[in-house]
Amino acid sequence: MSIIIIESPNKIEKVKKYSGFNTYATQGHFKTLSNNIFIPEKEEHYEPEFVDIDKASSYRINQIINASKNEEVFIATDPDREGYAIGFMVYLAIKNFAKSIKRAEFFEITEAGIKKGLENAIDFHKSNFKDYESYKARAISDKMIGYILSPKYINKLNDKNISVGRVQTPALNFIVQKELKIKDFLNSSESKKIEYKIKAKLQKNNTQFQALNDNIFATKEEANNYINTLSNQNKAKLYQKETKESKIKPKAPFRTSQFQEAINKAYGYDSKKAMALAQSLFEKGLITYHRTDSNALSNDFIEEIKQNYQNQSWYEERVYKAGEQSQANAHEAIRITHAHSLDEIEKIVREESLSDEERKAYELIFLNSLASQGKTSINEITTYDFSINALSFKAKLLKCVFKGFKELYTLNKEALDEENESTNENNTQENQNASQNTANSDTNETQNIDLNIELNEEVDILGYELVEIKAKAPSRYKESNFISLLEKEGIGRPSTYASFLPTLLKRNYVELDKKGKSSFIKATDKGIAFIKSIQKNDEWISQSEYTRQMENMLDCISKGEVGYLDYIKAIHEKMEFAKINQRNAPPSEKQLEFAMSLAKTLNIDLPQGIENDYKICSNFINENKDKMPKKVFKPSEKQIALCEKLAKDKNLELPKDYKENASSCSAFIDKCFKNAKNNKNNQTKGG
C-alpha cells in the first residue's frame, strides 16, 4: 500500500480520504541548523549541519521511516521552495528504506487536486535537487548575517534588542527614508504656507453637490471678502460640460501580496493574520495554495466558471499570466477550489465550521476569483462648468452606466469598499506621493452622483465654504501597500511577507499608527538611528538593490546557473569573512516561540534577556525541554496489526492503549522481538 507524506496534520484526513492511502505529517520543519551552523570539519566548505528540532520531531520522522519501509512513498510537502526542502530532508531519511519515492505537489486539497498531484508525481531523484541547494543558501546566508552583523550592532548601539536581516533591514530602510522626508518637510517653510479656494454648495432636485473655483487666495480674509461679493447670487448657470468614459477592468486573481493588501483594506487584518486564515482555508480544501507570486488561473477553473456563469450579464472569460516577477510557473493564483453561487457560502460556513474571520477571508477570495472573469465596469465622468457672477465653478460627477464585474460586490460592503478604494489607487504608496505633494491635487474630487444637467440650466446655490490649500507631507506607508512595494522591489518572497513587520515591531524599529481600518508604519527614533549606523558601516545590507540581487541569485541556484558556494562566499566576503559569533546573537523566531511554549506549559518564568540573547534562550530550552509532557501519537495501522499478530502468536496480553499510543505499541513490539532474540541465543548456547 502507498503512503503520502505532507506537512500539516490538519490535512491528513482529507488527503487520506481522497487518495485512499495512509498519510503522515512532518508538522513543518523537523530539522534545524545546529548551533554551529556548519559541520565543524567542513566549515571551510560552508557545509551546513542540520539536527532534529526536538524529541517530538525525532519521533515523528522515525514513525515516517518505519511506515515507509518497503512501501511506495509520495512526498507531498508544500509546493514551494520551503516545502521542497522539508520533502528533501524526508527523502534523505527514508531513501534506504522505501520501495520507491516520488515527489507530488498538491495545489488544492480536493479530490481532483489530490488525484492530479499523484498522477503527475515524478521519481524524487529526478526532481530538482537545486531547489534544496537554493533553500540551503537562503537559510545559511540569513543565519550568517544574523550571527555576524547583529552582535556587531548590539555592541555599537549598546542595545540587546537589535537584529540585522536580509529582508528586514532594507524594508526598514524604506520606512526610515520616508520618515526622514516627512521630518524635512515639516521643518520647511513650505509646510507652513496655507492658501485658500472657494467651494460652492449647489443643489438640483434636492440633490446636493459641490463645485470648486480655481482661483487661489493668499489669505482667509481675502477669500471671505470675495465670498461677500457673491452673496447676492442664488443661482449658478451651466455654460459648459464635458463627458468622458472611464473603464475599470477587474483585478487579476490574487497573488499572496495582493490578498494581504485586500484583506487589510477591507477588514484591517495584518499580513500574519491574513496568512493564518488562508492556511486554514487551504487545509480545508476551500482555496488553492496561498503562497504564490502568480496571477494565473488553470484552464479547468476558467472553464468551470464559464459553465456556471456564462449567462450572467457580468461574465467575460479572461486569461491571466503568471506575472513578470513570478518564480512559480506551475502555480496558480489564490482562488476558490470550485465555482458556486454566493448563496452557497452559508452552507460552506456550516459544513466547514468556518469562524467569522475565515468566512470574511473566503468571501474576499470568492469574489475576487469570480470577478476576475467579469466584464469591464464603465462609468461616465462629467465635468460641469457653472458661472456665478462671471466666475467659473467646476463640479465632477460620476455615473455608473454599466456595473460589469462590480455587480458581484453589491452584497459585500467591505469588499466593495476595498474594490472602490483600489480603483484609483496605485499599488504602492510611492506612486501616490507624487500627486499628494501637489498643492491642489485633491480639492476637486469626483462625486458619485447621478445628475443630468443641461446647458444654460440654472441650479440653486446653498452657500459657500473655504477650502484650505497647503502642501502635504509625504504619506507614511500603509501596511497593506508596503507589502506590494516589497514585491515590486524584489525583496522577499510570498512565504516571508508576513514576517517582516512583526520583527520590526518587536525590535522597536517601527510603530503602527492606526487610522480606521488602515495602519500606517512609522519609523521610531531607534529605527532611524539604527539605519544611520548601518549606512555608515554596512550600507549594502540596507539597499534593496543588493537584496534583489540576492533573491535573483537564489532563483539562479534553483535553475543551476549559480552554485551554492558562489552565493555563500559572496555574502561572507561582504562581511569581510568575519568569524561567526554566536555570543549576544538573538535567538531565531522558532527558538523563541518554543521557549515561550515551554514556559507556558510548565508554568515557569522566562529568564531575563531571553529575547535578545541566543545563548540564554538555548540554555533555557536545553534545561526544560525534557520536562514537557510527552505528546501521544497514534500508531500506524501496520504497527497495530503487528502488535495483534505478535500477541496472538506468543499468547501475550496487549497493552490497553496500544491502538492509541504509538510509544506503547512500539515498546510492546520491541519487547517481543527482544524476547525472541534472547530465546534464540539461549537455545544456541544450550545446543
CATH number of the CATH domain containing 208: 2.70.20.10
Q: Are residues 523 and 611 in the same domain?
A: no
pLDDT of 121 above 90: yes
Residue 339 belongs to a domain with what CATH number? 1.10.290.10
pLDDT at 191: 76
In terms of domains, do 444 and 496 share one? Answer: no
Which one-letter DSSP state was computed for residue 73?
A: E
Average pLDDT across the chain, whole number: 87
DSSP symbols for 527-539? HHHHHHHHHHH-G
In a domain, 245, yes or no: yes
Flag the least confident range among 94-108, 411-425, 432-446, 602-616.
432-446
In a domain, 83, yes or no: no
Q: In DSSP terms, which residues pair with 399 in a beta bridge?
A: 380
Residue 457 pLDDT > 50? yes
The answer on pLDDT for 442 being more than 90 is no
* 371 shares a domain with 383: no
| 465 and 501 inside one domain | no
Residues 597, 556 within the same domain: no
Angstrom distance (rounded) from CA 481 to CA 422: 10
The pLDDT of residue 434 is: 37
Domain-embedded: residue 102:
no
The amino acid sitting at 22 is: N
Q: What is the rounded distance in angstroms from the CA atom of residue 322 to the CA atom of residue 107?
A: 15
Q: What is the pLDDT of residues 302-353, one digit of tens each?
A: 999 999 999 999 999 999 987 555 444 457 899 999 999 888 999 999 999 9
511 & 543 share domain: yes
- pLDDT at residue 429 tops 60: no
In a domain, 24, yes or no: no
Convert the pLDDT of each residue in 275-302 to its tens digit.
999 999 999 999 999 988 889 999 999 9
Domain end position, chosen among 375, 406, 439:
375
Say yes or no: 368 and 305 in one domain: yes
pLDDT digits (tens, 9 = 90+) for 649-678: 888 899 988 888 877 888 888 888 777 666
Q: Which residue would you say has higher pLDDT here, 499 or 350?
A: 350
Instruction: Please compute the mean of the pLDDT values over residues 461-477 and round it to a whole number.
Output: 92
pLDDT at 491: 84
| pLDDT for res 685 | 55
Last residue of a domain, one of 375, 392, 409: 375
Band (pLDDT 50/70/90 cuts) for residue 246 is very high
Whether residue 660 lies inside any domain: the answer is: no
42: pLDDT confidence band, cut at 50, 70 and 90? confident
612 belongs to a structural domain: yes
Q: Strand pairing partners for 513? A: 520
Is 268 contained in some domain? yes
Domain around 600: 587-627
379 forms beta bridges with 246, 400
Residue 451 within any structural domain of the chain? yes
What's the pTM?
A: 0.77
Long-range Cβ contacts of 675-683 (<8 Å, 24+ apart): 675/650
Query: Which has more confidence, 329 or 246?
Result: 246
Do residue 618 and residue 605 come from a single domain? yes
Q: How many domains does the chain have?
A: 4
Same structural domain, 484 and 559: yes
Q: Does residue 385 sit in the same domain as residue 427?
A: yes
**Interval 422-447 mean pLDDT:** 49
Run of H or E residues at 574: helix 564-574
Cβ atoms of 285 and 298 closer than 8 Å: no
Nearest-angstrom CA–CA distance, 657 and 63: 17
Q: Pick the closest to residue 327 from 480, 134, 498 (CA basis).
A: 134
Last residue in a domain, options 540, 574, 608: 574
64 vs 39: CA distance, rounded Å: 26
Mean pLDDT of 549-559: 92
Which of the four pLDDT bands, split at 50, 70 and 90, describes residue 583?
A: low
Q: Specify the pLDDT at position 111.
A: 92
For residues 284 and 313, membership in a common domain is answered with yes
Asked whether residue 242 falls in the same domain as residue 346, the answer is no
Whether 49 shows a pLDDT value over 70: the answer reads: yes
Inform me whether the pLDDT recorded for 435 exceeds 80. Answer: no
